[in-house]
Amino acid sequence: MATRIDQEYQDLKRRVHYFMVERLDEEGVDVGKTGRDSLFSFVQNQVQGFVSQHRLPLSAQDLALLTRETFDEVAGFGPLEPLLADDTINDILVNGPEDVFIEVAGVLQQAHTRFIDDDHVTRVIRRILAPLGRRLDESSPMVDARLPDGSRVNAIIPPIALDGPSLSIRKFTQKHLTAQDLVNSGSMTAECLDTLVSLVEGRRNVLISGGTGTGKTTILNLISQYIPRDERVVTIEDSAELQLNHPHIVRLETRPANTEGSGQITARELVINALRMRPDRIILGEVRSGEIIELLQAMNTGHEGSMSSIHSNSARDALVRIETLLAVNGYDAGERAIGRLIGSSLDVIVQLSRLPNGRRLVREVVALKPTADDPYRMETLYHAELAQDEPAEPQVEGVPG
């Protein structure tokens, strides 16, 4: 169902919402304990009564729209409800009341929906966070959380967000793309798939590299399916997204600090703990900080076949980024020693790209073949051939997608 974004309709929706809150209170309706069908019937009757009482000239279509959106305000997340229900949408980005964007098939576009005002955006954000026990106010103006369905939520409000509240949702899907799906869509070739499978089965340490929205989690999830069934796997993620159909898996998830600033469990702590759990392989969802030290050491001391991902726009840049992470997190060693650690720990880098038309693909697969003089010597195992109408453009770090 379409939505209206004109100001007159938004003003009406605000009036009806306030009216509905009063009616729910007067009738003693407990939204949390009332069935959706019964609650919808109540909202529908009240909206129709409001429209009739004020003699509002609404078409049947607009009345149905007003009823649905009022119900979404009462029982759900307001204007976000239809976007959350649409399986074709991967990301929802709210930059302000009138600036709502969605990503569909790798392409960012403006959504035909809007909020009433900044306060409306903030109310919906707080409604999302309330069941999660997370707080968002002036003293704690930003939050990163995971919804019960696995979707990732990041919200930030003034005074940190200068232009008003902002919300980002990376939707989680239970339906992961299969290897054949990726081959059919052009994300990889059958040759590339065979190469990746042989690397996993050969217990090579693999790093998935790519910019934002290039499909790192998708590829990591895919190749993890080829881990032999008799191996013990421990996964570590900030937000649990990997879905491994494996009989022997332990899933660990980091924990942010509570409102008092305590209780945080970092990925580095979980990697250290995972080493005490007798894993055959460790899968770290994404390398971001000091956990890189323990991960490289694990890869170098008997945990062959481990995997992770990293934000980077090329295989060479991924190595430089790892060097930086080691340096800023207190790994006290010279440049040569750092190079030897990385070169001897990582076996393969899988570089992903996203083209201007939104297509994601495995751009190249390179093996590290370190020598005494060059710890980062690379050998190309696979390189994608692009069509003439698909110019190669580097993924700009930080662009949503």
CATH number of the 79-173 domain? 3.30.450.370
Task: Say what the pLDDT of residue 324 is.
Answer: 94
Peptide bond just before 97 cis, omega within 30 deg? no
pLDDT of the residue at 2: 55
pLDDT of residue 107: 83
Closest CA to 125 of 169, 82, 75, 85: 169
The closest of 241, 208, 247 to 227, measured between CA atoms, is 247
Burial (CB count <10 Å: 0-12, 13-18, 19+), residue 202: exposed
Q: What is the pLDDT of residues 330-366, one digit of tens each?
A: 888 888 899 999 999 999 999 999 888 888 899 999 9
C-alpha–C-alpha distance, residues 191 and 241, integer Å: 27
pLDDT for position 13: 81
Model pLDDT, residue 398: 38
Burial 167-176 (b: 16+ CB within 10 A, else e): bbbbbbeeee
In this predicted model, what pLDDT tens digit does every residue of 148-187 receive, in sequence order? 777 889 999 999 998 999 999 988 776 677 889 899 988 9
Query: According to the model, what pLDDT value does residue 391 have?
Result: 56
- Alpha helices in 131-256, H assignment, sequence order: 179-185, 190-201, 216-224
Write the CA distances from 136 to 34, 141, 262, integer angstroms: 27, 5, 17
To which CATH superfamily is domain 179-383 assigned?
P-loop containing nucleotide triphosphate hydrolases (3.40.50.300)
Of 368, 369, 363, the closest CA to residue 382 belongs to 363
Q: Based on the number of CB atoms within 10 Å of its own CB, is 395 exposed (0-12), middle (13-18) or buried (19 or more)? A: buried
| Residue ranges for the chain with pLDDT beneath 50 | 1, 393-401
pLDDT at position 276, please?
92
Burial environment of residue 232 by CB neighbours within 10 A (0 to 12, 13 to 18, 19 or more): middle
Is the distance from CB of 376 to CB of 370 less than 8 angstroms?
yes
Q: Are 208 and 352 in contact (CB under 8 A)?
A: yes
